[in-house]
Amino acid sequence: MKTTGIIHPQYQIGAIDPRIGGAFLEHLGRAIYTGIYEPGHPTADEDGFRTDVLDLVRQINVPITRYPGGNFVSGYNWEDGVGPREQRPVRLDLAWRVRETNQFGTNEFIQWCKKANTEPMMAINLGTRGVDAARSLVEYCNHPSGSYYSDLRRAHGFEAPHGVKVWCLGNEMDGPWQIGHKTAEEYGRVALESAKVMRWVDPSIELVLCGSSAAGMPTFPQWEQTVLEHCYEQVDYLSLHTYIGDQEQNTARFLAKSVGMDHFISTVAATCDHVKAQKRSKKTMYLSFDEWNVWYHSHSHDAELEPWSVAPRQVEDYYTFIDAVVNGLMVNVLLRHADRVKIACIAQLVNVIAPILAEPGGPAWKQTIYYPYQDLALYGSKGVSLQPVINSPCYDDSQFGAVPYIDLAAVYDEESGALNLFIANRHESETLPLELDLRGFGAVWVAAHSVLAHADNNARNTLQAPNTVVPRLDGDARVVDGTLTANLTPLSWNVVRCKAG
C-alpha cells in the first residue's frame, strides 16, 4: 500500500494567483450581522466591527472577499445600503425570506476589507436590476469625483474612490431559485451590456461571468457555451460553484466527491477553449471558483425557520473533523488547476457555512474546516503549482471510478525555497507510507509536518470545546538523500513544509 512518486520543480502546472485563497461574505443569516458587524459587542471597534472576528480573519490572510451575495444580490438595491443609517430602509429579502435592515452596506464592507487586509470583490444585481444599476454602482465606487454618484459617495464621507477591481456579473443566474433567473440567452445579453457600460465607467476593472451553479445542473455545460459566445471578449473569468455534502452518510463516497469537482473544472476549461477556438480568440478564459465548500448539516434545520426574522441562525453548518478532510481535498483540486483557477472563494467566511463561528455577545472560534482553508491561503498561494507524478493505491467508487487513497498537491516558491505539500489520506483505517523523489530540488529538508486527524469523524469545535480538532506538528515526514518519506495517519490532512536550496 505504499505511494511512490516524484515532485520536480520543472513539472509545472502553472503560476498560482494569490487570490486562490479568497472568501465570501453574503447578507445571509449571521454572516454580516453578529458575524463581522455587531455594534455593542465587547470587542467591537468604533465602526461596530468585531475585532475578535477580524483577528481570526487576519490569521488566514484572506486575499480577496466576495460580497454582498450570493442569492441575496439578485434582489438587492445597493442604494439602500449607503448614506445615513437612520434613513436606510428595511426590506424583505426574498432570497432567504428574512428582513434586511441595511445597517451594513457597500461603504462598511470596504472599511471592513481594509481592516481585514483583504481586497473587495463585488457582485452586481442582474436579477431584479441590470445595466443601469450596474453602471451607477461602479461610478459610486470607482469614479473619483465630479459626477452624481461619485459625489454622492463623497457626500457619504468617502472622498477617495474605493477602487474595486473585481466585479461579478450577477450570481447563479442559471438557477430557478435565483430572483430574476434567466435563460443562457437572456443572461448572456444582459451580462454583455452590463460589462460594456461598467468598463466604460472604469476600464481597469475585471469581470466575472456566471457559469453553472453546479456540475449537476441540467443546463451544464451548454450554459457555459452560450454565455461565453455572448461575452467571451468582454469578461476575464467564468465562475464555478461546488458544495459537497454527505447526505448518504457514506464516508468513502463523501471523500470521493472532490474527484467530481476536478472533472467539473476540466469540463468548464474545455468549454472555454472550445469557444475560444470558435471565436479565433487569442485570449484564455480564466476561472473564478467563487463558491466552494462542504455544506449539508444545516439543510434540515433551515427548513423550520420562521420567515421574516432579522439575521437568524441560518445556513450554519457545525463542521465535523471529516468535513475538514473533504475541505482539504477541495483545496488540492483548486491547486492542481491553478493554471486556470485564478480566483477562488470559500463559501463563506463567518457563521454561514464558515470556518469561523461567532456567538452574539460572546466569543468567536475556529471550526474544523478553518485549518485546511488557512493552509491554502497561507502556504498554497505563492509560487507555482507543481504536477505531482504519483502512484497511489486506489479504491473503487461506483460514481467516480478509481479514487486514490493518497491525494497530493505541491506548491513551490523558488524565491524563498518553500516547497509545500498538501496531502490527504482517504483510507479509513490504514496508515499509508509515502515515498517521494525530491532530488530535482537539490538540498531539501522538512521544516514542519502538520497533521489534522481525529479518532472521531464527528468531532467538532464547539463554544465549550473550541480546540477539539486542531492540527498538530507531530507528522514524521523527513528527507534523506533527496527522498521524502512519511507515514500518513488514516483519514488525515497533512501539510509538509519543506525548504529547498
User: Taking each helix axis from N to C terminus, what angle separates 321-336 and 251-278, rounded to the nearest 10 degrees?
Assistant: 20
How many CA atoms are closer than 13 Å to the CA of 21, on its beta-carbon side? Answer: 24
State the nearest-atom distance from the C-beta of 332 to ligand AHR, in Å. Answer: 21
Among 3, 34, 65, 71, interactor with ligand AHR by CB under 6 A: 71
Please identify which of the residues 172, 206, 304, 414 carries the catalytic annotation: 172
For 202, the grid coordinates are: 472604469
State the nearest-atom distance from the C-beta of 348 to ligand AHR, in Å. Answer: 6
Q: Is 291 a catalytic residue?
A: yes
Q: What character string, x for contact with ligand AHR (CB under 6 A) and - otherwise, covers 208-247?
A: -----x----------------------------------
Q: DSSP secondary-structure letter at 306? A: P
Please identify which of the residues 291, 306, 359, 414 carries the catalytic annotation: 291
Q: What is the 3-state secondary structure (H, E, C) of 436-465?
A: EECHHHCCEEEEEEEEECCCCCCCECCCCC
**Alpha helices, DSSP H, located in 8-62:** 51-60
Q: Is 46 a catalytic residue?
A: no
> What are the E-state strand segments in 303-426?
341-347, 356-358, 364-366, 384-386, 389-391, 394-397, 401-404, 406-413, 418-425
For ligand AHR, the binding residues in 303-342 under the rule CB under 6 A are: none
> Based on CB atoms, which residue is closest to ligand AHR, 64 or 498?
64
Q: Which stretch binds ligand AHR (CB under 6 A): 65-73, 274-282, 325-333, 491-499?
A: 65-73
Under the criterion CB under 6 A, does residue 26 sit at the interface with ligand AHR?
Answer: yes
Under the criterion CB under 6 A, does residue 172 sit at the interface with ligand AHR?
Answer: yes
**Alpha helices, DSSP H, located in 182-250:** 184-201, 222-231
> Based on CB atoms, which residue is closest to ligand AHR, 178 or 385?
178
Query: How many angstroms separate the CA atoms of 325 and 306, rounded?
Result: 33
State the nearest-atom distance from the C-beta of 26 to ligand AHR, in Å. Answer: 5
Which distant-in-sequence residues (6+ apart) come within 8 Å of 481 by Cβ?
none
Among 65, 239, 348, 368, interactor with ligand AHR by CB under 6 A: 348
State the nearest-atom distance from the C-beta of 21 to ligand AHR, in Å. Answer: 17
Among 171, 212, 239, 494, interactor with ligand AHR by CB under 6 A: 171
State the nearest-atom distance from the C-beta of 175 to ligand AHR, in Å. Answer: 7
For ligand AHR, the binding residues in 286-305 under the rule CB under 6 A are: 291
Under the criterion CB under 6 A, does residue 93 sit at the interface with ligand AHR?
Answer: no
> Based on CB atoms, which residue is closest to ligand AHR, 237 or 412?
237
For ligand AHR, the binding residues in 370-399 under the rule CB under 6 A are: none
H or E stretch covering 284? none
3-state secondary structure of 12: strand
> Based on CB atoms, which residue is closest to ligand AHR, 74 or 489?
74
Beta strand 394-397 with 406-413: parallel, antiparallel or unpaired? unpaired
For 190, the grid coordinates are: 444582459
Which distant-in-sequence residues (6+ apart) come within 8 Å of 380 by Cβ?
16, 20, 21, 331, 335, 409, 411, 420, 422
Under the criterion CB under 6 A, does residue 347 sit at the interface with ligand AHR?
Answer: yes
Residues binding ligand AHR (CB under 6 A): 26, 69-71, 171-172, 213, 291, 347-348
The catalytic residues are 172, 291
